[in-house]
Structure 1
Amino acid sequence: MLEARTRLGRLGLQALVTVLVIPFLIPLIAMIQGSLQGIGWRNYLVVLSLPQLPLFFRNSLIIAGLTILLVYLCTMLASFGFAKLHIHGKEFFFWLLLAALTLPEIVLVTPLFVTASVTNIYNTYWAVVLPLAALQIPFAVLLTRTFIAGIPDALVEAARIDGASTFQAFKHVVLPLTRPIAAAIIVLTLVGTWNSYLLPLLFLQDASSQVVTQVPSFYQGQYNDDQTKILASAVITGIPGIVAYLCLQRQFERGLSAGAVK
């Protein structure tokens, strides 16, 4: 890890980090201050007393859990194939997968709606889980492929010599070494899925299947616009992502640093 060796260098580095953090810190402070206006902490009590809130949290947890599981399995298998297996044309398929990163979510809404209607998964969890997973997988594969490529080929070859199949070598040799990048994938996927607003809004029409990002809509309408409750619900919604990052912080940072460079 690089570090400044002189006092002036450390001060300069600290000043640079502070300047970079300020644009992200100001909106967060403004959101918390806004949520405490009016009746103060009771704004949070009002949001927490919402009868539908536990159901919305459950729906978000189910969608996030299924998406994380799907992204993890597909990413690990695809990254192992791209990094360690001799597959004809794998570079073409890898760059084709990365091309999906250029597609914004809003462009895919119409074809996703048609696909969900034709396959009869509209208004089910899968109508949200499958698109969210597909949007997360390309970037996850980009990071994980580089990480797995850094694992010595000798370990895989040794397992093959001992009689292990390709899948067994992947399961018992490669997969245990990918915990840092797995933590990064879990956190990134959780944050992206938990904060998703557009796809659940369009594909989950039943009130019983809504997610936590829909909670602010209870305090905003034609004759109601309670910004304090909206900001309080936004703070409550963001807590799970913060907790997940804090729990996996060390592994997350190791995974990103190892997956970013070869």
Structure 2
Amino acid sequence: MFEARRVPTKLLLQLLVTLLTIPYLFPLVVMVQGSLSGEGWGNYRAVLEVGAIGTFFKSSVIISAATIVITLTLTMLASFGFSKLRIRNKEVFFWMILAALTLPEVVLLTPLFATTLAIGVYDTYWAVILPLAALQIPFTVLIARRFVDGVPDALFDAARIDGASTWIAFRSIVLPMTRPIAAAIVVLTLIGSWNSYLLPLVLIQDPAQQTVTLLPQFFVSQFSNDQTKVLASAVITAIPEIIAYLCLQGLFERGLSAGAIK
């Protein structure tokens, strides 16, 4: 790893990092500052007094947790298969999965709507969980495969000599050694599923199953547009993601950096 040793170089790098951070930090500062305008903390009180906020958070937790479990399970299995197993034409299948990255969510709305109706899951949590997981998996497989490539083949050879099956090798070697990339996948999937707005709006009509992304709608109507409470809703909605990132920060950064260079 490169390291800056001279003081002028360190100061220059610190200045560069600060300048690169400002465009991302500025909207967050404006959001928090705007949420405290007008009634101040009363804006947060008004948001917390919305009767459906508990239901919204419960739905978001269910959808996000299920999406994370499905995405993480399938990603780790697929990355292990693409990286370490001998599968005919596996590179073809891998590039077919990556081709899904080119499809924006908006283009898929009509096919997803028709599919959820056909299989009978429309207006349920599964109508959002399954598409969200499917949209996350191509990217997570891409970064996880690069990480699994870095696991030495000698470990798997030794496991085979000891009589371990493919499943035992996966469980005993791959899973413990890929915790950093698993943490990165959890954080990225949580952000994608927790912030999803379009899919819950289109595929769920039951108000009791709506997510927190629809919380600001209580303060925007035909005759009112209270942006201070909308911003307060955004801050409250972002808190679980911030907590999750802080808890997994070390593993998340290690997973992304290792997956990028291996």
Same fold? TM cut 0.5: yes
- Tell me, in whole angstroms, the C-alpha distance in 2 between the residues paired with 1:25 and 1:76: 33
Which residue of 2 is the match for residue 261 of structure 1?
A: 261
Which residue of 1 is the match for residue 28 of structure 2?
A: 28
- Tell me, in whole angstroms, the C-alpha distance in 2 between the residues paired with 1:208 and 1:2: 52
Which residue of 1 is the match for residue 124 of structure 2?
A: 124
Percent of aligned pairs with the same residue? 63
Say whether 1:218 aligns with 2:218: yes
Which residue of 1 is the match for residue 88 of structure 2?
A: 88
How many residues get paired? 262
- Tell me, in whole angstroms, the C-alpha distance in 1 between the residues paired with 2:2 and 2:33: 36
* TM-superposed deviation, 1:161: 1.4
* TM-superposed deviation, 1:143: 0.7
- Tell me, in whole angstroms, the C-alpha distance in 1 between the residues paired with 2:173 and 2:10: 41
Q: Are 1:36 and 1:228, in contact at CA under 8 Å, matched by a contact in 2?
A: yes
Q: Which moved more, 1:208-217 or 1:155-164?
A: 155-164
- Tell me, in whole angstroms, the C-alpha distance in 1 between the residues paired with 2:110 and 2:23: 34
Is the partner of 1:80 in helix, strand or coil?
A: helix
**1:167-246 to 2 correspondence within 5 Å?**
167-246=167-246
Which residue of 2 is the match for residue 251 of structure 1?
A: 251
Residue-by-residue CA offset, 1:188-222 (whole Å, 9 max, x unaligned): 00011100000001111001000000000010011
**1:122-161 to 2 correspondence within 5 Å?**
122-161=122-161
- Tell me, in whole angstroms, the C-alpha distance in 1 between the residues paired with 2:140 and 2:170: 18
- Tell me, in whole angstroms, the C-alpha distance in 2 between the residues paired with 1:3 and 1:199: 44
* TM-superposed deviation, 1:2: 2.5
Residue-by-residue CA offset, 1:149-196 (whole Å, 9 max, x unaligned): 110111111111111111111111211111000000000000111000
Code of the residue aligned with 1:2 in structure 2: it is: F
Is the partner of 1:5 in helix, strand or coil?
A: coil
- Tell me, in whole angstroms, the C-alpha distance in 2 between the residues paired with 1:100 and 1:7: 46
- Tell me, in whole angstroms, the C-alpha distance in 2 between the residues paired with 1:197 and 1:119: 22
TM-score, length-scaled by structure 1: 0.98
Is the partner of 2:254 in helix, strand or coil?
A: helix
Say whether 1:97 aligns with 2:97: yes
Say whether 1:16 aligns with 2:39: no
* TM-superposed deviation, 1:5: 1.2
Residue-by-residue CA offset, 1:6-30 (whole Å, 9 max, x unaligned): 1111111111111111111111111
Is the partner of 1:236 in helix, strand or coil?
A: helix
- Tell me, in whole angstroms, the C-alpha distance in 1 between the residues paired with 2:138 and 2:129: 15
Q: Which moved more, 1:243-252 or 1:154-163?
A: 154-163
Residue-by-residue CA offset, 1:109-156 (whole Å, 9 max, x unaligned): 000000001111000111100110011101100111011111011111
Is the partner of 1:159 in helix, strand or coil?
A: helix
Is the partner of 2:230 in helix, strand or coil?
A: helix
Q: Are 1:156 and 1:174, in contact at CA under 8 Å, matched by a contact in 2?
A: no
Large movers: runs of 4+ above 2 Å: none
Q: Are 1:156 and 1:169, in contact at CA under 8 Å, matched by a contact in 2?
A: yes
* TM-superposed deviation, 1:103: 0.8
Which residue of 1 is the match for residue 55 of structure 2?
A: 55
Which residue of 2 is the match for residue 107 of structure 1?
A: 107
* TM-superposed deviation, 1:3: 2.4
Q: Which moved more, 1:153-162 or 1:62-71?
A: 153-162
Code of the residue aligned with 2:218 in structure 1: it is: F
Is the partner of 2:151 in helix, strand or coil?
A: coil
Q: Are 1:216 and 1:229, in contact at CA under 8 Å, matched by a contact in 2?
A: yes
Q: Where in structure 2 are there 5+ consecutive unaligned residues?
A: none
Is the partner of 2:120 in helix, strand or coil?
A: coil
Is the partner of 1:250 in helix, strand or coil?
A: helix
Which residue of 2 is the match for residue 74 of structure 1?
A: 74
Code of the residue aligned with 1:214 in structure 2: it is: L
CA RMSD of aligned residues (A): 0.8
Is the partner of 2:178 in helix, strand or coil?
A: helix
